[in-house]
Chains A and B, each alone.
Chain A
Amino acid sequence: EVQLVESGGGLVKPGRSLRLSCTASGFIFGDYAMSWFRQAPGKGLEWVGFIRSKTNGGTTEYAASVKGRFTISRDDSRNIAYLQMNSLKSEDTAVYYCTQEIAPAAVWGQGTLVPVSS
């Protein structure tokens, strides 16, 4: 069964950092791009960024709202994608989801909540 499990969420103060993990199983992780999306409480879906497969260069792209503060990386030996979030702001408060591929994203994790508050 194809599965994604996010972890690492939790309450964090503004200006601090947090790293989320997305652990994959059930598919050849290295063959796929991995994306991160988020959803603020009561709001719609927002793309955060993605990392291409190493076959496609392993490069990253980010939404303007997080560029320069967030970094996506991957460890294909451990089947994990990471989202490093620095200089967090209150407006980064959201449920963060990782997905297999970018668009369409057929596989989503269950999400992990990141409240940013003092």
Chain B
Amino acid sequence: SYELTQPPSVSVALGQTARITCVGNNIGSKNVHWYQQKPGQAPVLVIYRDSNRPSGIPERFSGSNSGNTATLTISRAQAGDEADFYCQVWDTTIDVVFGGGTKLTVL
């Protein structure tokens, strides 16, 4: 089965740049989506198809995907960005798969 590996936690200083990785075999050939989930809330899509932002998501959120690693980048991190982040891929050969999630802490 296809696996996506995320770091359990990432810390970033207020106003600095956070990068959250999602590692999978040849993930660069797949579409990767990213979700933000705050405690007690449903997930929110923040990046779709590698690098696209849905309406209403700040430009500070960006994504990239190449080789075996997809990356979610959060620039000028704010306290309100603290959350769990999940990467997701789907294709007909692997079904729908999530990474294990990364807890972002803004110091």
Contacts and interface: CB of A to CB of B under 8 A. Distances in A.
Interface SS of chain B? strand
Given A45-B35, A108-B42, A103 B90 contact: yes
A29 interface: no
A110 B33 contact: no
Interface in A44-92: 44-47, 50, 61, 63
Interface SS of chain A? loop
The size bracket of the interface on B is 20 to 34
B52 to A, nearest CB: 9
A28 interface: no
Interface stretch (B16-24, B64-72, B74-82, B95-103): B95-103
A47 B86 contact: no
B17 to A, nearest CB: 24
Contacts of A103: 31, 33, 88-90, 96
Given A103-B89, A104-B49, A47 B95 contact: yes
Given A45-B43, A103-B90, A103-B96, 6 more contacts: A47-B95, A103-B88, A106-B48, A106-B54, A109-B42, A111-B42
6 A-B pairs closest in CB distance: A103-B90, A47-B96, A104-B48, A104-B33, A108-B42, A44-B101
Interface of A: 35, 44-47, 50, 61, 63, 97, 102-106, 108-111
